[in-house]
């Protein structure tokens, strides 16, 4: 009978990097297949888009169901590395409604791995975590959750706690842990975004589009895309709309990544345009983000998450309407990073009930009447 360890090893497949990445450092030898990492592109006419701008969307939200989102291709390399190094536990961190934690938890369980996550918590009552959206899915697959006070939530403190947790798990169970850092970045994961870029190339990236744009929450995804663009001749321009960290923090992280892959001579500022100003969210901003979710869904059928995606689209629309010179051309390709489960948050439901009410709902008790109404 196959043991759990041998079964996990059997899911590994050989990874051959694209030719343009063959001379980089830290090339992973293995990957696992988790999702549909070749996703479609289509035209996207969002409300508020200038008539002379052609916007297209790369549907990274269609990598899977519970495994939807841009994190999936990254996890194919990170979890392969975990298995290769004999780890049976995955440790990560995030907010209560983290897409990263949800995708990691589902992928880990699929591969027979445990998942343990530090959760940034304003309220230390376990009941406050709730049973909605991404948190529901994490609980459904048996994730271990550790609530950390907001006051203690700095990158270094979180790293220290994750290391301490890994040591404790090792002492208590003998199990080895693979730690995904707070930024979500490590070398194996970077190659997941290289694979996304290679998919874009196969879809005509260089001929059909001038600019690549999307949400950035620390820069891991756009680090991969920007480095890949540089290595293939900088034929397009990359823009990350930063919704979490400062522009300086993103460039600092990317500079370290460039060193890690063996490109220390490249300046981060020369390969990516970080669009900042969307990190700090007040009540008015939340309302605007929710409005974007509804407006885009009603107009295009594409569901954005009310945090990263909505904020990034709001930022994109502002830039193309007021700051057009920062773009290389007028053919823009937006990376939809997923996050659909966030629309099931209680706050989003309360907003929708107030905004939409019973619009579109008509009682039809009598089958002999004609219920259609333009005012429904």
User: Does 282 score more than 90 pLDDT?
Assistant: no
The percent of residues above 90 in pLDDT, for the chain, comes to 87
Specify the pLDDT at position 183: 83
Specify the pLDDT at position 368: 86
CATH topology of domain 4-16+70-179: Rossmann fold (3.40.50)
Q: Which of 81-85, 140-144, 277-281, 332-336 has the lowest mean pLDDT?
A: 277-281
Specify the pLDDT at position 371: 83
35-69+191-356 matches 4-16+70-179 in CATH topology: yes
User: Does 239 score more than 90 pLDDT?
Assistant: yes
47 near 2, Cβ under 8 Å?
no
- Confidence tier at 47 by pLDDT (50, 70, 90): very high
The pLDDT of 280-299, averaged and rounded, is: 91
Helices (H) and strands (E) in the chain, counts: 12, 12
Residue spans per domain, the chain: 4-16+70-179, 35-69+191-356
Specify the pLDDT at position 279: 83
183 near 156, Cβ under 8 Å?
no
Q: What 3 state SS string does 35-60 have?
A: CCCCCCEEECCCCCCCCCCEEEEEEH
The pLDDT of 235-248, averaged and rounded, is: 95
Specify the pLDDT at position 369: 84
What digits encode the pLDDT tens for the residues 107-141?
A: 999 999 999 999 999 999 999 999 999 999 999 99
- Report the greatest alpha carbon distance in the chain: 76
CA nearest to 146, candidates 91, 105, 79, 104: 91
User: Does 76 score more than 50 pLDDT?
Assistant: yes
Q: Give how far Cα 175 sits from Cα of 31, 120, 344, Å.
A: 21, 25, 35
User: Does 335 score more than 50 pLDDT?
Assistant: yes
The pLDDT of 295-299, averaged and rounded, is: 98
User: Does 332 score more than 80 pLDDT?
Assistant: yes
What digits encode the pLDDT tens for the residues 186-212?
A: 999 999 999 999 999 999 999 999 999
Q: What value does the mean pLDDT of the chain take?
A: 95
Pairing of strands 30-31, 237-242: unpaired
Instruction: Please confirm, yes or no, whether 115 is among the known catalytic residues.
Output: no
Residues 138, 159: Cα–Cα separation, whole Å: 21
User: Does 376 score more than 50 pLDDT?
Assistant: no
pTM for this predicted structure: 0.94
User: Does 35 score more than 70 pLDDT?
Assistant: yes
8 near 113, Cβ under 8 Å?
yes
Specify the pLDDT at position 328: 98
Specify the pLDDT at position 1: 40
102 near 342, Cβ under 8 Å?
no
Specify the pLDDT at position 95: 94
Of residues 98, 121, 133, 216, which has the active-site annotation? 98
Q: What is the DSSP string of 273-312?
A: EEE-S-S---HHHHHHHHHHHHHHHHHHSPPPPTTHHHHH
CA nearest to 75, candidates 161, 153, 178: 178
Specify the pLDDT at position 8: 74
- Confidence tier at 171 by pLDDT (50, 70, 90): very high
Architecture per CATH, 35-69+191-356: 3-Layer(aba) Sandwich (3.40)
């Amino acid at each position: 009978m196959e043991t759990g360890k041998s079964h996990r090893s059997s899911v590994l497949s050989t990874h051959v990097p694209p030719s343009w990445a063959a001379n980089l450092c830290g090339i992973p030898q293995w990957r696992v297949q988790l999702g549909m990492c070749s996703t479609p592109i289509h035209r996207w006419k969002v409300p508020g888009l200038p008539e002379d701008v052609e916007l297209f969307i790369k549907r990274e939200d269609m990598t899977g169901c519970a495994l939807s989102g841009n994190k999936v291709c990254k996890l194919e390399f990170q979890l392969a590395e975990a298995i290769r190094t004999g780890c049976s536990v995955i440790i990560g961190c995030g907010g209560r409604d983290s897409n990263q934690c949800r995708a990691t938890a589902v992928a880990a369980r699929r591969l027979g791995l445990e998942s343990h996550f530090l959760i940034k918590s304003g309220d230390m009552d376990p009941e406050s975590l709730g049973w909605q959206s991404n948190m529901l899915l994490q609980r459904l697959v048996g994730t271990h959750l550790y609530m950390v006070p907001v006051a203690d939530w700095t990158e270094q403190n979180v790293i220290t706690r994750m290391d301490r947790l890994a040591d404790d798990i090792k002492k208590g169970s003998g199990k080895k842990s693979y730690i995904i850092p707070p930024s979500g970045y490590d070398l194996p994961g970077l190659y997941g975004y290289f694979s996304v870029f290679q998919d874009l190339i196969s879809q005509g990236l260089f001929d059909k589009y001038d600019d690549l744009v999307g949400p950035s929450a620390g820069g891991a995804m756009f680090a991969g895309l920007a480095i890949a663009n540089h290595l293939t001749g900088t034929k397009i321009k990359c823009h990350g709309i930063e919704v979490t960290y400062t522009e300086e923090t993103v460039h600092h992280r990317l500079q370290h990544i460039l060193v890690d892959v063996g490109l220390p001579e490249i300046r981060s500022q020369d390969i990516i345009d970080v669009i900042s100003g969307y990190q700090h969210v007040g009540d008015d901003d939340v309302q605007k983000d929710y409005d974007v979710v509804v407006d885009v869904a009603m107009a295009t059928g594409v569901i954005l998450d009310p945090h990263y995606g909505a904020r990034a689209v709001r930022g994109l629309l502002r830039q193309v309407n007021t700051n057009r010179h920062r773009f290389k051309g007028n053919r823009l390709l937006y990376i939809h990073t997923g996050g659909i489960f966030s629309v099931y948050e209680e706050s989003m439901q309360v907003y929708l009930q107030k905004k939409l009410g019973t619009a579109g709902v008509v009682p039809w008790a009598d089958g002999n009447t004609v219920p259609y109404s333009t005012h429904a």
